[in-house]
Amino acid sequence: MKKLLLLILVVLCLSTANVFGESGTTQSQQTAIATPAALKVDTGDTAWVLISSALVMLMTPGLAFFYGGLVRRKNILGILMQCFIILAALSLQWVLFGYSLSFSPGNGFIGSLKWFGLRGVGLEPYPDYSATIPHQAFMIFQAMFAVITPALIIGAFAERMKFSAFLIFTLLWATFVYDPIAHMVWGVGGWLRNLGVLDFAGGTAVHINAGIAALVTAIIVGKRKCYDKHPTPPHNLPFSVLGAALLWFGWFGFNAGSALGANGLATNAFVVTNTAAAAAALSWAFLDWRFNGNPTMLGTISGAVAGLVAITPAAGFVGIGAAIMIGLLVSVFCFVAVGFVKRRFGYDDSLDAFGIHGIGGIWGALATGLFATKAINPAGADGLLLGNPRQFLIQLAAVIVTIVYALVITFIIYKLVDVVIGVRVVEEEEAMGLDLTQHNERAYTMLE
Amino acid sequence: MKLIIAIIQPHRLEQVKEKLYDAEVNLITVSEVLGHGRQKGVTEIYRGFKETGNLLRKIRLEIAVNDNFVEPTIRAITEGARTGQIGDGKIFVLDLPECIRIRTGESGGEAIG
Protein backbone atom coordinates (compact mmCIF):
# COMPACT_ATOMS: atom_id res chain seq x y z
CA MET A 1 0.00 0.00 0.00
CA LYS A 2 2.67 2.49 1.07
CA LYS A 3 4.94 1.48 -1.80
CA LEU A 4 2.08 1.99 -4.23
CA LEU A 5 1.39 5.47 -2.88
CA LEU A 6 5.07 6.35 -3.09
CA LEU A 7 5.23 5.16 -6.67
CA ILE A 8 2.20 7.26 -7.63
CA LEU A 9 3.77 10.27 -5.95
CA VAL A 10 7.04 9.86 -7.82
CA VAL A 11 5.26 9.47 -11.16
CA LEU A 12 3.20 12.58 -10.44
CA CYS A 13 6.28 14.59 -9.51
CA LEU A 14 8.09 13.57 -12.68
CA SER A 15 5.14 14.24 -14.93
CA THR A 16 4.39 17.63 -13.40
CA ALA A 17 8.01 18.74 -13.60
CA ASN A 18 7.89 17.85 -17.26
CA VAL A 19 4.58 19.62 -17.85
CA PHE A 20 5.46 22.78 -16.01
CA GLY A 21 8.69 22.95 -17.93
CA GLU A 22 6.73 22.90 -21.16
CA SER A 23 3.84 25.07 -20.13
CA GLY A 24 6.17 28.04 -19.78
CA THR A 25 6.97 27.92 -23.45
CA THR A 26 3.36 27.25 -24.43
CA GLN A 27 2.22 30.30 -22.59
CA SER A 28 4.79 32.59 -24.13
CA GLN A 29 3.89 31.28 -27.57
CA GLN A 30 0.26 32.02 -26.87
CA THR A 31 1.08 35.53 -25.76
CA ALA A 32 2.97 36.08 -28.97
CA ILE A 33 0.11 35.05 -31.23
CA ALA A 34 -2.75 36.38 -29.09
CA THR A 35 -4.87 39.13 -30.54
CA PRO A 36 -5.05 41.70 -27.73
CA ALA A 37 -8.38 43.18 -28.80
CA ALA A 38 -10.34 39.91 -28.52
CA LEU A 39 -8.77 38.77 -25.25
CA LYS A 40 -8.90 41.82 -23.01
CA VAL A 41 -8.84 40.95 -19.32
CA ASP A 42 -11.40 42.95 -17.34
CA THR A 43 -9.97 43.92 -13.97
CA GLY A 44 -13.33 44.16 -12.20
CA ASP A 45 -14.48 40.76 -13.45
CA THR A 46 -11.17 39.18 -12.58
CA ALA A 47 -11.16 40.66 -9.09
CA TRP A 48 -14.67 39.36 -8.43
CA VAL A 49 -13.95 35.85 -9.69
CA LEU A 50 -10.75 35.60 -7.63
CA ILE A 51 -12.56 36.81 -4.51
CA SER A 52 -15.40 34.41 -5.26
CA SER A 53 -12.90 31.56 -5.52
CA ALA A 54 -11.66 32.43 -2.04
CA LEU A 55 -15.25 32.60 -0.77
CA VAL A 56 -16.02 29.14 -2.17
CA MET A 57 -12.78 27.78 -0.71
CA LEU A 58 -14.00 28.86 2.74
CA MET A 59 -17.14 26.77 2.29
CA THR A 60 -15.22 23.51 2.70
CA PRO A 61 -13.89 24.33 6.20
CA GLY A 62 -17.34 25.82 6.85
CA LEU A 63 -18.91 22.52 5.89
CA ALA A 64 -16.38 20.76 8.11
CA PHE A 65 -17.62 22.69 11.14
CA PHE A 66 -21.25 22.27 10.09
CA TYR A 67 -20.78 18.49 9.93
CA GLY A 68 -18.22 18.38 12.75
CA GLY A 69 -20.62 19.88 15.27
CA LEU A 70 -23.25 17.30 14.37
CA VAL A 71 -21.18 14.18 15.07
CA ARG A 72 -20.28 12.74 18.46
CA ARG A 73 -17.24 14.33 20.04
CA LYS A 74 -15.07 11.27 19.42
CA ASN A 75 -15.42 11.81 15.66
CA ILE A 76 -15.05 15.54 15.07
CA LEU A 77 -11.40 15.44 14.04
CA GLY A 78 -12.29 12.67 11.61
CA ILE A 79 -14.73 15.04 9.90
CA LEU A 80 -12.43 18.07 9.98
CA MET A 81 -9.58 15.96 8.63
CA GLN A 82 -11.65 14.50 5.81
CA CYS A 83 -12.72 17.96 4.68
CA PHE A 84 -9.26 19.43 4.99
CA ILE A 85 -7.55 16.58 3.17
CA ILE A 86 -10.10 16.89 0.36
CA LEU A 87 -9.12 20.55 0.05
CA ALA A 88 -5.51 19.46 -0.34
CA ALA A 89 -5.93 16.33 -2.46
CA LEU A 90 -8.58 17.66 -4.84
CA SER A 91 -6.68 20.91 -5.38
CA LEU A 92 -3.81 18.81 -6.75
CA GLN A 93 -6.06 16.44 -8.67
CA TRP A 94 -7.70 19.46 -10.29
CA VAL A 95 -4.57 21.22 -11.57
CA LEU A 96 -3.00 17.93 -12.66
CA PHE A 97 -5.84 16.36 -14.63
CA GLY A 98 -9.26 17.08 -13.08
CA TYR A 99 -9.71 20.43 -14.78
CA SER A 100 -8.62 18.97 -18.08
CA LEU A 101 -11.06 16.04 -17.83
CA SER A 102 -13.88 18.41 -16.93
CA PHE A 103 -13.38 21.41 -19.16
CA SER A 104 -10.98 20.71 -22.02
CA PRO A 105 -12.56 20.02 -25.40
CA GLY A 106 -13.38 16.34 -25.65
CA ASN A 107 -16.49 14.41 -26.53
CA GLY A 108 -20.01 14.93 -25.15
CA PHE A 109 -19.23 12.79 -22.16
CA ILE A 110 -15.79 13.78 -20.91
CA GLY A 111 -12.94 16.15 -21.71
CA SER A 112 -9.47 15.08 -22.72
CA LEU A 113 -6.05 15.14 -21.10
CA LYS A 114 -5.00 17.96 -23.40
CA TRP A 115 -4.74 20.39 -20.48
CA PHE A 116 -2.89 17.92 -18.21
CA GLY A 117 -0.96 19.89 -15.59
CA LEU A 118 -2.62 23.08 -16.86
CA ARG A 119 -0.65 22.88 -20.09
CA GLY A 120 -2.18 25.59 -22.27
CA VAL A 121 -4.31 26.97 -19.47
CA GLY A 122 -2.72 30.37 -19.28
CA LEU A 123 -3.31 33.87 -18.08
CA GLU A 124 -5.19 34.95 -21.21
CA PRO A 125 -8.97 34.63 -21.34
CA TYR A 126 -10.45 31.48 -22.87
CA PRO A 127 -13.55 32.89 -24.54
CA ASP A 128 -15.47 29.59 -24.62
CA TYR A 129 -15.86 29.94 -20.84
CA SER A 130 -15.27 33.60 -20.18
CA ALA A 131 -13.87 36.28 -22.44
CA THR A 132 -12.99 38.76 -19.71
CA ILE A 133 -11.01 36.85 -17.08
CA PRO A 134 -7.76 34.89 -17.27
CA HIS A 135 -8.32 31.22 -18.05
CA GLN A 136 -6.57 30.26 -14.81
CA ALA A 137 -9.00 32.42 -12.82
CA PHE A 138 -11.87 30.37 -14.25
CA MET A 139 -9.87 27.21 -13.51
CA ILE A 140 -9.25 28.07 -9.84
CA PHE A 141 -12.89 29.13 -9.34
CA GLN A 142 -13.97 25.73 -10.67
CA ALA A 143 -11.33 24.04 -8.51
CA MET A 144 -13.20 25.11 -5.38
CA PHE A 145 -16.38 23.48 -6.69
CA ALA A 146 -14.47 20.27 -7.36
CA VAL A 147 -13.22 20.43 -3.76
CA ILE A 148 -16.50 20.95 -1.98
CA THR A 149 -18.56 18.43 -3.95
CA PRO A 150 -16.92 15.26 -2.60
CA ALA A 151 -16.77 16.92 0.83
CA LEU A 152 -20.57 17.07 0.86
CA ILE A 153 -20.76 13.27 0.63
CA ILE A 154 -18.92 12.59 3.88
CA GLY A 155 -22.04 13.47 5.86
CA ALA A 156 -23.58 10.21 4.67
CA PHE A 157 -20.91 7.82 5.94
CA ALA A 158 -19.77 9.91 8.91
CA GLU A 159 -18.40 8.18 12.01
CA ARG A 160 -17.68 4.81 10.40
CA MET A 161 -15.39 4.93 7.36
CA LYS A 162 -11.68 4.13 7.33
CA PHE A 163 -9.58 7.14 6.46
CA SER A 164 -7.53 5.23 3.87
CA ALA A 165 -10.65 3.94 2.13
CA PHE A 166 -12.21 7.39 2.24
CA LEU A 167 -9.17 8.92 0.55
CA ILE A 168 -9.11 6.43 -2.32
CA PHE A 169 -12.90 6.54 -2.71
CA THR A 170 -12.85 10.33 -2.89
CA LEU A 171 -10.11 10.52 -5.53
CA LEU A 172 -11.81 7.90 -7.69
CA TRP A 173 -15.22 9.55 -7.23
CA ALA A 174 -13.90 12.99 -8.16
CA THR A 175 -12.25 11.59 -11.27
CA PHE A 176 -14.94 9.23 -12.52
CA VAL A 177 -18.13 10.87 -11.28
CA TYR A 178 -17.61 14.59 -10.71
CA ASP A 179 -15.33 15.31 -13.68
CA PRO A 180 -17.55 13.65 -16.33
CA ILE A 181 -20.76 15.19 -14.94
CA ALA A 182 -19.13 18.62 -14.79
CA HIS A 183 -18.07 18.16 -18.41
CA MET A 184 -21.52 17.05 -19.53
CA VAL A 185 -23.21 20.02 -17.86
CA TRP A 186 -20.66 22.83 -18.26
CA GLY A 187 -17.86 21.73 -20.58
CA VAL A 188 -17.65 22.84 -24.20
CA GLY A 189 -19.24 20.00 -26.19
CA GLY A 190 -20.88 18.50 -23.09
CA TRP A 191 -24.10 16.85 -24.25
CA LEU A 192 -26.32 18.13 -21.42
CA ARG A 193 -24.99 21.63 -22.03
CA ASN A 194 -25.79 21.27 -25.73
CA LEU A 195 -29.26 20.02 -24.81
CA GLY A 196 -29.89 23.40 -23.17
CA VAL A 197 -29.83 22.48 -19.49
CA LEU A 198 -29.88 25.49 -17.19
CA ASP A 199 -27.58 24.93 -14.22
CA PHE A 200 -26.21 28.26 -13.09
CA ALA A 201 -23.89 27.22 -10.28
CA GLY A 202 -24.04 23.48 -9.86
CA GLY A 203 -27.44 22.06 -8.90
CA THR A 204 -26.85 18.90 -10.93
CA ALA A 205 -23.07 18.58 -11.03
CA VAL A 206 -22.58 19.48 -7.37
CA HIS A 207 -25.67 18.89 -5.28
CA ILE A 208 -27.67 16.13 -6.97
CA ASN A 209 -24.42 14.38 -7.80
CA ALA A 210 -23.09 14.47 -4.23
CA GLY A 211 -26.55 13.82 -2.78
CA ILE A 212 -27.02 10.61 -4.77
CA ALA A 213 -23.49 9.46 -3.96
CA ALA A 214 -24.39 10.11 -0.32
CA LEU A 215 -27.51 7.97 -0.51
CA VAL A 216 -25.65 5.10 -2.19
CA THR A 217 -22.78 5.11 0.30
CA ALA A 218 -25.08 5.51 3.32
CA ILE A 219 -27.04 2.44 2.26
CA ILE A 220 -24.13 0.15 1.41
CA VAL A 221 -21.81 1.13 4.24
CA GLY A 222 -24.68 0.32 6.62
CA LYS A 223 -25.98 1.92 9.77
CA ARG A 224 -23.84 3.02 12.66
CA LYS A 225 -23.94 0.45 15.46
CA CYS A 226 -25.99 2.60 17.78
CA TYR A 227 -28.39 3.88 15.09
CA ASP A 228 -31.36 1.67 15.98
CA LYS A 229 -30.83 1.92 19.73
CA HIS A 230 -30.60 5.60 20.50
CA PRO A 231 -30.18 8.94 18.73
CA THR A 232 -26.75 10.57 18.64
CA PRO A 233 -27.30 14.24 19.42
CA PRO A 234 -24.92 16.84 17.96
CA HIS A 235 -21.92 17.23 20.28
CA ASN A 236 -21.42 20.92 19.52
CA LEU A 237 -24.32 22.68 17.85
CA PRO A 238 -22.63 26.10 18.01
CA PHE A 239 -19.95 24.71 15.66
CA SER A 240 -22.69 23.72 13.25
CA VAL A 241 -24.20 27.20 13.39
CA LEU A 242 -20.78 28.71 12.72
CA GLY A 243 -20.34 26.29 9.83
CA ALA A 244 -23.75 27.08 8.36
CA ALA A 245 -23.01 30.81 8.60
CA LEU A 246 -19.71 30.30 6.77
CA LEU A 247 -21.54 28.27 4.12
CA TRP A 248 -24.09 31.05 3.62
CA PHE A 249 -21.24 33.59 3.34
CA GLY A 250 -19.24 31.46 0.94
CA TRP A 251 -22.30 30.73 -1.17
CA PHE A 252 -22.26 34.31 -2.44
CA GLY A 253 -19.05 33.37 -4.20
CA PHE A 254 -20.52 30.06 -5.32
CA ASN A 255 -23.60 31.58 -6.97
CA ALA A 256 -22.81 35.23 -7.68
CA GLY A 257 -19.29 34.25 -8.72
CA SER A 258 -20.79 31.90 -11.31
CA ALA A 259 -21.76 34.96 -13.33
CA LEU A 260 -17.99 35.09 -14.00
CA GLY A 261 -18.13 38.85 -13.94
CA ALA A 262 -18.81 41.84 -11.69
CA ASN A 263 -22.12 42.70 -13.28
CA GLY A 264 -25.90 42.78 -12.98
CA LEU A 265 -26.26 39.03 -13.32
CA ALA A 266 -23.90 38.52 -10.38
CA THR A 267 -25.98 40.95 -8.36
CA ASN A 268 -29.16 39.09 -9.24
CA ALA A 269 -27.57 35.80 -8.18
CA PHE A 270 -26.36 37.40 -4.94
CA VAL A 271 -29.80 38.77 -4.06
CA VAL A 272 -31.81 35.64 -4.87
CA THR A 273 -29.27 33.48 -3.03
CA ASN A 274 -29.71 35.48 0.15
CA THR A 275 -33.48 35.57 -0.29
CA ALA A 276 -33.89 31.84 -0.83
CA ALA A 277 -31.67 30.99 2.14
CA ALA A 278 -33.69 33.33 4.35
CA ALA A 279 -37.05 31.95 3.18
CA ALA A 280 -35.92 28.36 3.67
CA ALA A 281 -34.49 29.00 7.15
CA LEU A 282 -37.76 30.57 8.27
CA SER A 283 -39.79 27.85 6.60
CA TRP A 284 -37.91 25.05 8.37
CA ALA A 285 -38.09 26.84 11.72
CA PHE A 286 -41.88 27.05 11.44
CA LEU A 287 -42.17 23.43 10.29
CA ASP A 288 -40.18 22.43 13.38
CA TRP A 289 -42.39 24.58 15.55
CA ARG A 290 -45.58 23.14 14.09
CA PHE A 291 -44.63 19.45 13.96
CA ASN A 292 -41.92 18.99 16.62
CA GLY A 293 -43.09 21.50 19.20
CA ASN A 294 -40.18 23.94 19.09
CA PRO A 295 -38.31 25.97 16.51
CA THR A 296 -34.82 24.45 16.70
CA MET A 297 -31.40 25.86 15.93
CA LEU A 298 -30.50 22.69 14.03
CA GLY A 299 -33.68 22.91 11.97
CA THR A 300 -33.12 26.55 11.12
CA ILE A 301 -29.55 26.06 9.87
CA SER A 302 -30.62 22.94 7.96
CA GLY A 303 -33.27 25.08 6.28
CA ALA A 304 -30.77 27.79 5.38
CA VAL A 305 -28.43 25.25 3.77
CA ALA A 306 -31.34 23.61 1.92
CA GLY A 307 -32.38 27.02 0.57
CA LEU A 308 -28.85 27.72 -0.62
CA VAL A 309 -28.72 24.33 -2.33
CA ALA A 310 -32.05 24.84 -4.08
CA ILE A 311 -31.33 28.31 -5.42
CA THR A 312 -27.92 27.25 -6.79
CA PRO A 313 -29.01 26.10 -10.29
CA ALA A 314 -31.60 28.89 -10.53
CA ALA A 315 -29.60 31.85 -9.22
CA GLY A 316 -28.84 33.33 -12.64
CA PHE A 317 -32.26 32.71 -14.19
CA VAL A 318 -34.95 33.67 -11.66
CA GLY A 319 -36.09 36.74 -9.74
CA ILE A 320 -37.10 37.49 -6.18
CA GLY A 321 -40.59 35.97 -6.24
CA ALA A 322 -39.32 32.65 -7.52
CA ALA A 323 -36.47 32.71 -5.00
CA ILE A 324 -38.94 33.02 -2.14
CA MET A 325 -41.04 30.14 -3.48
CA ILE A 326 -37.98 27.96 -4.05
CA GLY A 327 -36.79 28.69 -0.50
CA LEU A 328 -40.12 28.18 1.24
CA LEU A 329 -40.80 24.88 -0.55
CA VAL A 330 -37.34 23.32 -0.36
CA SER A 331 -37.63 23.16 3.41
CA VAL A 332 -40.92 21.30 3.11
CA PHE A 333 -39.41 18.66 0.80
CA CYS A 334 -36.22 18.28 2.84
CA PHE A 335 -38.11 18.26 6.13
CA VAL A 336 -40.15 15.32 4.88
CA ALA A 337 -37.08 13.53 3.48
CA VAL A 338 -35.06 13.95 6.67
CA GLY A 339 -37.85 13.41 9.19
CA PHE A 340 -40.04 10.78 7.57
CA VAL A 341 -38.54 9.17 4.47
CA LYS A 342 -35.22 8.41 6.17
CA ARG A 343 -36.97 6.90 9.18
CA ARG A 344 -39.35 4.92 7.00
CA PHE A 345 -36.64 3.29 4.89
CA GLY A 346 -34.17 3.06 7.76
CA TYR A 347 -30.95 4.10 6.01
CA ASP A 348 -28.39 5.97 8.10
CA ASP A 349 -27.63 9.12 6.09
CA SER A 350 -25.95 10.34 9.26
CA LEU A 351 -25.80 14.08 8.60
CA ASP A 352 -28.50 14.22 5.90
CA ALA A 353 -26.23 14.77 2.92
CA PHE A 354 -28.87 13.18 0.68
CA GLY A 355 -31.84 14.64 2.53
CA ILE A 356 -30.57 18.20 2.07
CA HIS A 357 -28.28 18.20 -0.98
CA GLY A 358 -29.92 15.43 -2.98
CA ILE A 359 -33.53 16.46 -2.42
CA GLY A 360 -32.77 20.20 -2.35
CA GLY A 361 -30.68 19.86 -5.53
CA ILE A 362 -33.41 17.96 -7.39
CA TRP A 363 -36.01 20.55 -6.38
CA GLY A 364 -33.68 23.39 -7.41
CA ALA A 365 -32.98 21.89 -10.84
CA LEU A 366 -36.69 21.32 -11.50
CA ALA A 367 -37.65 24.70 -10.06
CA THR A 368 -35.25 26.29 -12.54
CA GLY A 369 -37.33 24.68 -15.28
CA LEU A 370 -40.46 26.13 -13.69
CA PHE A 371 -39.43 29.68 -12.84
CA ALA A 372 -36.63 30.61 -15.28
CA THR A 373 -37.18 33.80 -17.23
CA LYS A 374 -35.35 35.53 -20.02
CA ALA A 375 -36.18 38.84 -18.35
CA ILE A 376 -33.45 38.06 -15.82
CA ASN A 377 -30.99 36.40 -18.18
CA PRO A 378 -31.47 36.69 -21.96
CA ALA A 379 -28.89 33.94 -22.43
CA GLY A 380 -31.08 31.55 -20.43
CA ALA A 381 -34.58 30.39 -21.29
CA ASP A 382 -38.17 30.74 -20.13
CA GLY A 383 -39.53 28.06 -17.83
CA LEU A 384 -42.78 26.12 -17.66
CA LEU A 385 -44.65 28.93 -15.91
CA LEU A 386 -43.85 31.23 -18.82
CA GLY A 387 -45.22 28.72 -21.28
CA ASN A 388 -42.11 26.73 -22.10
CA PRO A 389 -42.68 23.14 -20.90
CA ARG A 390 -39.71 21.99 -23.00
CA GLN A 391 -37.31 23.63 -20.56
CA PHE A 392 -38.85 21.74 -17.66
CA LEU A 393 -38.44 18.45 -19.53
CA ILE A 394 -34.81 19.26 -20.28
CA GLN A 395 -34.23 19.94 -16.58
CA LEU A 396 -35.95 16.67 -15.71
CA ALA A 397 -33.76 14.80 -18.18
CA ALA A 398 -30.63 16.31 -16.65
CA VAL A 399 -31.79 15.33 -13.17
CA ILE A 400 -32.45 11.74 -14.24
CA VAL A 401 -29.16 11.41 -16.10
CA THR A 402 -27.23 12.75 -13.11
CA ILE A 403 -29.05 10.45 -10.70
CA VAL A 404 -28.50 7.33 -12.80
CA TYR A 405 -24.86 8.10 -13.58
CA ALA A 406 -23.96 9.01 -9.99
CA LEU A 407 -25.82 6.01 -8.63
CA VAL A 408 -24.18 3.42 -10.86
CA ILE A 409 -20.60 4.70 -10.84
CA THR A 410 -20.60 5.51 -7.12
CA PHE A 411 -21.77 1.97 -6.42
CA ILE A 412 -19.01 0.48 -8.58
CA ILE A 413 -16.29 2.66 -7.01
CA TYR A 414 -17.47 1.86 -3.50
CA LYS A 415 -17.48 -1.89 -4.15
CA LEU A 416 -14.05 -1.71 -5.72
CA VAL A 417 -12.55 0.07 -2.72
CA ASP A 418 -14.36 -2.28 -0.36
CA VAL A 419 -12.93 -5.36 -2.07
CA VAL A 420 -9.39 -3.99 -2.17
CA ILE A 421 -8.94 -2.50 1.31
CA GLY A 422 -12.31 -2.59 3.10
CA VAL A 423 -14.34 0.53 3.66
CA ARG A 424 -15.73 0.27 7.14
CA VAL A 425 -13.83 0.39 10.43
CA VAL A 426 -14.18 -2.61 12.75
CA GLU A 427 -16.76 -2.44 15.52
CA GLU A 428 -14.29 -1.66 18.31
CA GLU A 429 -12.82 1.22 16.33
CA GLU A 430 -16.28 2.61 15.68
CA ALA A 431 -16.99 2.49 19.42
CA MET A 432 -13.70 4.20 20.25
CA GLY A 433 -14.20 6.86 17.60
CA LEU A 434 -12.38 7.82 14.42
CA ASP A 435 -10.33 10.60 16.06
CA LEU A 436 -8.42 8.12 18.16
CA THR A 437 -8.35 5.11 15.84
CA GLN A 438 -7.71 6.87 12.50
CA HIS A 439 -5.65 9.86 13.59
CA ASN A 440 -4.45 9.09 17.15
CA GLU A 441 -5.65 12.50 18.30
CA ARG A 442 -8.41 13.80 20.50
CA ALA A 443 -10.32 17.06 20.02
CA TYR A 444 -11.01 17.68 23.67
CA THR A 445 -8.96 17.00 26.78
CA MET A 446 -10.48 16.54 30.23
CA LEU A 447 -7.85 18.22 32.39
CA GLU A 448 -6.08 21.38 31.27
CA MET B 1 -27.61 -2.77 50.29
CA LYS B 2 -24.39 -2.36 48.33
CA LEU B 3 -22.87 0.41 46.26
CA ILE B 4 -21.10 -0.98 43.22
CA ILE B 5 -18.48 1.24 41.62
CA ALA B 6 -16.93 0.10 38.38
CA ILE B 7 -14.16 1.62 36.27
CA ILE B 8 -14.38 0.47 32.64
CA GLN B 9 -13.07 1.25 29.15
CA PRO B 10 -15.08 4.07 27.55
CA HIS B 11 -15.81 2.10 24.40
CA ARG B 12 -17.40 -0.75 26.40
CA LEU B 13 -20.10 1.44 28.00
CA GLU B 14 -22.74 0.49 25.43
CA GLN B 15 -22.25 -3.24 25.97
CA VAL B 16 -22.23 -2.86 29.75
CA LYS B 17 -25.47 -0.88 29.67
CA GLU B 18 -27.09 -3.55 27.50
CA LYS B 19 -26.01 -6.33 29.87
CA LEU B 20 -27.28 -4.34 32.85
CA TYR B 21 -30.67 -3.82 31.21
CA ASP B 22 -30.82 -7.55 30.45
CA ALA B 23 -30.23 -8.19 34.17
CA GLU B 24 -32.98 -5.67 34.97
CA VAL B 25 -30.60 -3.25 36.60
CA ASN B 26 -31.93 0.07 35.37
CA LEU B 27 -30.54 2.63 37.79
CA ILE B 28 -27.08 3.82 36.95
CA THR B 29 -24.91 6.90 37.27
CA VAL B 30 -22.13 7.39 34.73
CA SER B 31 -19.22 9.80 34.78
CA GLU B 32 -16.09 10.30 32.76
CA VAL B 33 -12.90 10.02 34.77
CA LEU B 34 -9.15 9.90 34.33
CA GLY B 35 -6.85 7.37 35.92
CA HIS B 36 -4.41 4.54 35.48
CA GLY B 37 -3.66 1.14 36.92
CA ARG B 38 -0.51 -0.76 37.77
CA GLN B 39 1.07 -0.20 34.39
CA LYS B 40 0.75 3.56 34.95
CA GLY B 41 -0.92 3.83 31.59
CA VAL B 42 2.24 2.96 29.70
CA THR B 43 1.28 -0.40 28.21
CA GLU B 44 -2.16 0.82 27.28
CA ILE B 45 -1.15 3.64 25.02
CA TYR B 46 -2.11 1.85 21.80
CA ARG B 47 -5.77 1.94 22.72
CA GLY B 48 -6.14 5.11 24.71
CA PHE B 49 -4.91 8.62 24.23
CA LYS B 50 -2.68 9.84 27.06
CA GLU B 51 -3.99 12.86 28.93
CA THR B 52 -1.88 14.89 31.36
CA GLY B 53 0.87 12.62 32.73
CA ASN B 54 -0.04 9.02 32.08
CA LEU B 55 -3.72 9.40 32.79
CA LEU B 56 -6.15 7.54 30.57
CA ARG B 57 -9.82 8.17 30.02
CA LYS B 58 -12.18 5.75 31.75
CA ILE B 59 -15.85 5.52 32.57
CA ARG B 60 -16.97 5.25 36.19
CA LEU B 61 -20.28 3.57 36.95
CA GLU B 62 -22.10 3.86 40.26
CA ILE B 63 -24.94 1.48 40.94
CA ALA B 64 -26.75 1.10 44.26
CA VAL B 65 -28.47 -2.29 44.59
CA ASN B 66 -30.22 -4.52 47.09
CA ASP B 67 -28.21 -7.58 48.14
CA ASN B 68 -29.99 -10.00 45.80
CA PHE B 69 -28.94 -7.87 42.82
CA VAL B 70 -25.22 -7.75 43.64
CA GLU B 71 -24.21 -10.91 41.78
CA PRO B 72 -26.25 -10.22 38.60
CA THR B 73 -24.88 -6.67 38.48
CA ILE B 74 -21.27 -7.79 38.81
CA ARG B 75 -21.82 -10.48 36.18
CA ALA B 76 -23.38 -7.97 33.77
CA ILE B 77 -20.55 -5.46 34.16
CA THR B 78 -17.91 -8.16 33.75
CA GLU B 79 -19.50 -9.62 30.64
CA GLY B 80 -20.01 -6.23 29.06
CA ALA B 81 -16.62 -4.72 29.86
CA ARG B 82 -14.24 -7.64 29.40
CA THR B 83 -12.01 -7.63 26.33
CA GLY B 84 -9.25 -9.72 27.89
CA GLN B 85 -6.69 -6.97 27.46
CA ILE B 86 -4.89 -4.85 30.04
CA GLY B 87 -7.01 -1.89 31.08
CA ASP B 88 -10.41 -3.55 31.19
CA GLY B 89 -10.95 -2.00 34.64
CA LYS B 90 -12.14 -2.94 38.14
CA ILE B 91 -15.30 -3.39 40.15
CA PHE B 92 -15.54 -2.25 43.77
CA VAL B 93 -18.36 -3.37 46.07
CA LEU B 94 -19.07 -1.20 49.12
CA ASP B 95 -21.53 -1.57 51.97
CA LEU B 96 -24.29 1.00 51.74
CA PRO B 97 -25.78 1.93 55.12
CA GLU B 98 -28.69 4.06 53.91
CA CYS B 99 -30.56 5.27 50.83
CA ILE B 100 -33.29 7.91 50.69
CA ARG B 101 -35.53 8.81 47.78
CA ILE B 102 -35.78 12.58 47.82
CA ARG B 103 -39.20 12.87 46.19
CA THR B 104 -41.07 10.65 48.67
CA GLY B 105 -38.78 10.42 51.68
CA GLU B 106 -38.79 6.58 51.45
CA SER B 107 -35.65 4.97 52.77
CA GLY B 108 -33.78 1.65 52.72
CA GLY B 109 -34.28 -1.16 50.21
CA GLU B 110 -37.49 0.14 48.68
CA ALA B 111 -35.90 3.49 47.87
CA ILE B 112 -33.26 1.84 45.68
CA GLY B 113 -35.44 0.06 43.12
DSSP A275-317: HHHHHHHHHHHHHHHHHHSS--HHHHHHHHHHHHHHHTTTTTT
Nearest CB to B49: which of A225, A442, A447?
A: A442
The answer to whether the CB atoms of B48 and A436 lie below 8 A apart is: yes
pLDDT value, residue B42: 52
- Whether chain A has a CB inside 8 Å of the CB on B32: the answer is yes
Nearest CB to A436: which of B49, B52, B55?
A: B49
Q: Please list the pLDDT of chain A residue by residue as tens digits (448 residues).
A: 555 555 555 444 444 444 444 443 334 334 444 444 567 899 999 999 999 999 999 999 999 999 999 999 999 999 999 999 999 999 999 999 999 999 999 999 999 999 999 999 999 999 999 999 999 999 999 999 999 999 999 999 999 999 999 999 999 999 999 999 999 999 999 999 999 999 999 999 999 999 999 999 999 999 999 888 888 899 999 999 999 999 999 999 999 999 999 999 999 999 999 999 999 999 999 999 999 999 999 999 999 999 999 999 999 999 999 999 999 999 999 999 999 999 899 999 999 999 999 999 999 999 999 999 999 999 999 999 999 999 999 999 999 999 999 999 999 999 999 999 999 999 989 999 999 999 988 898 877 6
CATH of domain A15-439: 1.10.3430.10
- Whether chain A has a CB inside 8 Å of the CB on B48: the answer is yes
Q: Which residues of B touch A446 (CB under 8 A)?
A: 32, 34, 51, 57
Report the distance separating Cα A155 and Cα A178, nearest Å: 17
Q: Which residues of B touch A433 (CB under 8 A)?
A: 11
- Whether chain A has a CB inside 8 Å of the CB on B60: the answer is no
Q: Which residues of A touch B81 (CB under 8 A)?
A: none
pLDDT value, residue A153: 97
Domain ranges of chain B: 2-112
b/e code A210-243 from CB counts within 10 Å (16+ = b): bbbbbbbbbbbbeebeebeeeebebbbeebbbbb
Q: Which residues of A touch B47 (CB under 8 A)?
A: 432
Size of interface A-B (CB pairs under 8 A): 27
Strand bridging mode B2-8 / B89-95: antiparallel
* Model confidence at B83: pLDDT above 50: yes
- When the pLDDT of each residue in chain B is averaged and rounded to a whole number, the result is 88
pLDDT value, residue A18: 45
What's the 3-state SS for A31-83?
A: HHHCCCCCCCCCHHHHHHHHHHHHHHHHHHHHHHHHHHHHCCCCCHHHHHHHH
The answer to whether the CB atoms of B51 and A440 lie below 8 A apart is: no
The number of beta carbons lying within 10 Å of the beta carbon of residue B96 is 15
3-class SS of residue B32: strand
Name the phi and psi angles at A330, rounded to 5: -60, -35
User: In angstroms, what separates the C-alpha of A441 from chain B's closest C-alpha?
Assistant: 7
In chain A, which residue's Cα lies nearest the Cα of B12? A431
In chain B, which residue's Cα lies nearest the Cα of A445? B51
User: In angstroms, what separates the C-alpha of B43 from chain A's closest C-alpha?
Assistant: 16
Nearest CB to A431: which of B11, B48, B49?
A: B11
Q: Which residues of A touch B57 (CB under 8 A)?
A: 446
B2-112 maps to CATH 3.40.50.1010:
no
Q: Which residues of A touch B31 (CB under 8 A)?
A: none
Q: Which residues of A touch B52 (CB under 8 A)?
A: 445, 447-448
User: In angstroms, what separates the C-alpha of B83 from chain A's closest C-alpha?
Assistant: 10
Q: Which residues of B touch A229 (CB under 8 A)?
A: 14
Burial label for B58, CB within 10 Å (0-12, 13-18, 19+), is buried
* Residue of A13, A398, A407 lying closest to A196 (CA atoms): A398
Q: What are B18-63's pLDDT values in tens digits? A: 999 999 998 999 999 988 877 665 544 445 555 556 788 899 999 9
**ipTM here:** 0.81
The answer to whether the CB atoms of A428 and B11 lie below 8 A apart is: yes
The answer to whether the CB atoms of A431 and B47 lie below 8 A apart is: no
pLDDT value, residue A34: 45
pLDDT value, residue A158: 95
